[in-house]
Amino acid sequence: MVDFNNTLTDAEDAFAATDFASALSERYLAYALSTITSRSLPDVRDGLKPVHRRLLYAMKQLKLDPDQSFKKSARVVGDVIGKYHPHGDSAIYDAMVRLAQDFAMRYPLVDGQGNFGNIDGDNAAAMRYTETRLTQISRLLLAGIDENAVDFRQTYDGESEEPVLLPAGFPNLLANGAQGIAVGMATSIPPHNVIELVDAAKHLIKHPGASVETMMNIVKGPDFPTGGVLVEAEASILSAYQTGKGSFRLRANYVVEREKNGIWRLIVTEIPYQIQKSRLIEKLADALQQKKLPMLSDIRDESAEDVRILLEPKSRRLSPEIVMESLFQVTDLEVRIPLNLNVLDADNKPNVLSLKQALQQWLDHRKNVLLRRTQFRLDAIARRLEVVAGYLVVFLNLDEVIEIIREDEHPRDALMSRFSLTEFQANTVLDMRLRSLRRLEEEGLKSEQGALKQEQDELHNLQSNEEYQWQKISGELSDLKSDFAKSDARKTKISVAPQIDFDPKEMLVEREPLTIICSEKGWIRAMKGHLDLASDYKFKEGDGPKFILHAETTDKLLILNDRGRFYTIGCDALPKGRGFGEPLNLIIDLASENSPVALLKADTEQLLLVSSKGYGLRVQTSNVIAQTKNGKQILNLNQDEKAQICLPVNADMVASVGKNRKLLIFPVSEIPEINKGKGVILQRFKEGDLADLTLFDSKSGFNWQTNGDRTRHLTDYTKWVGKRGSAGKLPPNGFPRPARFT
């Protein structure tokens, strides 16, 4: 009979009690670490993730060198899955395809034959249809891998070995960049120009303490395989390279094709990195159809092998630069490329590095590879010298050696005893073929022996002399640069984005003269042409004129209400015709209890705003322009005061008069310029408020209108000049009652 209680107790003893949260945390951490180190982050030394490293190594094992014939991609993918990378074939093939795409990789690592996709976003053909082999860049990355340059580890099934990393005779991390998303972290490294990287690395060898700022004089910024124009500020690029985090503004490159009669077209010749051309054109077409691109009339894709996107402007009067600036703002013709230099460092730990640190760790790896290859060569020379020494013994005692081999039962031991040979030398002599004896020449052997010893001395010197090691690495870098010098001009231009302060949509409006009429009750309309301002215009019964002015369709109209809030209307948007127009509060959010106190064009640099209590300020006209219907509050007022005066600042003197008939004149410069607020006191009143205010030129004097509609002019006004904030003096004889200037 089975004792279930004892069985259960034995089972419990077989397992250790573990806290659930601790177990979950431990297992998730193991998963995260595996994802970070074995899948998503590249190694700073060779710039590769495990799948890319295994692909290149498998292709080398298949002898797919650049000078050899192609093999089917399916063969390579099968070898990678079977020997090194136990994942799905589509993931491995996708990784291989990207390594072969010249629009994705600045320096492709795989030479593809067949359909490997295109910049439109079309997928590559199936792996059974395409063929691959390594490129010269991959050969540089793998150079020395058979010379103990790097460590190897067992593959997942334990049947063979794979390299932990590649010797990397090419700065692949920064040259080709990398993207990846791990658990809790990501990497995004844009590609760079290898000539600039080599020059920066050589500078770093000569000046180990060089700053990132100094190195940025060499590495100007990313260099993308699809070209484009980098318009990021230099300070921002420097900050990104110093911290390892930042972003870069990248724009499409374009040219302007001009024809007769002023007709022109925009031709986009290079699009931003990792933007699919077909998707870009589709988005442009959708935006055009939805009338979000009012400056364009047509978009056409005329691309063949090269990129050629034609953009037809709606009007030849538009500026090409303005049109492109507006497109950059609302389309993927301008993108931000992130920089997050998060990689596995030399200690195999994830770390965000600066540009200098990334280059330095690659150089340190190259130094380590150099020393390991040097030791490998020294071991090979030592073995060969041992062999040559044995051959010399054979040459000098050939007959005796042959006799020992023919007659002695243990020739190896006899040779070792007779000629003081090592076991390795004796075995080498015994393994010689008879035909090799005819090639044994004393002079040749001694010449080889001398050359090997000289090389051995040089390598020992290299091992012990760090300066010599860096000279050797610098020489390798010079050779690398010479290989690319003729064919590797920078593809991405570096420029500065032009500063454009106006809306390009305004240029689409035909410039036409208008006469703008606003009534007392707030009805506004625009009539074509510059009509006589004194004409008798029609209004609704009980209504009359309040503001009448000349403008053009391209002007912006500013409206100030009695609570100090500005509204902005484009003159082209005003109701047209000879009717009564429309109420202002249907065009802007003007409350029924508020009324407009000023209506003027935004065509001067500054405005003077004055309240009924005699407070005022100067403000930049550009600052009062509102982008929304509910306006922009500029003049702050108490409950018992209202906005009363708004004048363009086009003179240097202020004349202010109160309801108490006190006149004060002072310079405009005494009024401060601020963005918004209550302002400062312009004139003090013991009784009443401000009656009127005007601006005039100090050299010509000022005018006022008498009660009989006659114009009076005053040039000698020194009697009324005082400091801002004074009470003023009684005006000259003939000044109207109530006090006013017009």
Q: What is the DSSP string of 433-468?
A: -HHHHTT--HHHHHHHHHHHHHHHHHHHHHHH-HHH
Name residues whose C-beta falls within 8 Å of residue 539's C-beta, 6 or more positions apart in sequence. 519, 523, 545, 580
Structure tokens at 224: 């993308």
Could you give the CA distance from residue 37 to residue 32 in angstroms, rounded to a whole number? 9
> What does the alpha-carbon distance between residue 247 and residue 411 come to, in Å, rounded to a whole number?
73
User: Rounded to whole angstroms, how far apart are CA atoms 69 and 67?
Assistant: 7
Pairing of β 493-494 and β 229-230? parallel
DSSP 3-state assignment of 695?
Answer: strand
Angle at 137 between CA 134 and CA 138, to 5 degrees: 45
Judge whether 129 counts as a catalytic residue: yes
Nearest to 373 by CA among 300, 290, 472, 292: 472
The secondary structure of 583-622 as a DSSP string is EHHHHS---TT--EEEEEES-SSEEEEEETTSEEEEEEHH
Contacts of 203 (CB under 8 A, 6+ apart): 210, 214, 215, 218
One-letter amino acid identity for 651? A
Q: 3-class SS at 626? A: coil
Q: How far apart are CA 533 and CA 527, in angstroms?
A: 12
- In three-state secondary structure terms, 183 is coil
Sign for the CA dihedral angle at 427, 429, 433, 434 comes to negative
Q: Which of 28, 31, 129, 468 is catalytic?
A: 129
**Strands 334-340 vs 245-251: parallel, antiparallel or unpaired:** antiparallel
588-595 contacts, C-beta under 8 A, 24 or more apart: 588/559, 588/629, 588/630, 588/631, 589/629, 589/630, 589/631, 590/522, 590/559, 590/561, 590/631, 594/561, 594/562, 594/563, 594/565, 595/522, 595/561, 595/562
Torsion, Cα of 643, 645, 650, 655 (10° steps): -120
Among 104, 402, 133, 134, residue whose Cα is nearest residue 275: 104
Which residue has 């990207």 as its token pair? 98
**How far from 439 is each of 163, 391, 427, 432, 435, CA to CA, in Å?**
39, 11, 19, 11, 8
Cβ contacts of 662 within 8 Å, gap of 6 or more: 683, 685, 727, 728, 729, 730, 731
CA dihedral (312, 314, 316, 320) in degrees, to 10, reads: -60
Q: Are residues 564 and 635 in contact, defined by beta-carbon separation less than 8 angstroms? A: yes
Write out the catalytic residue numbers.
Answer: 129
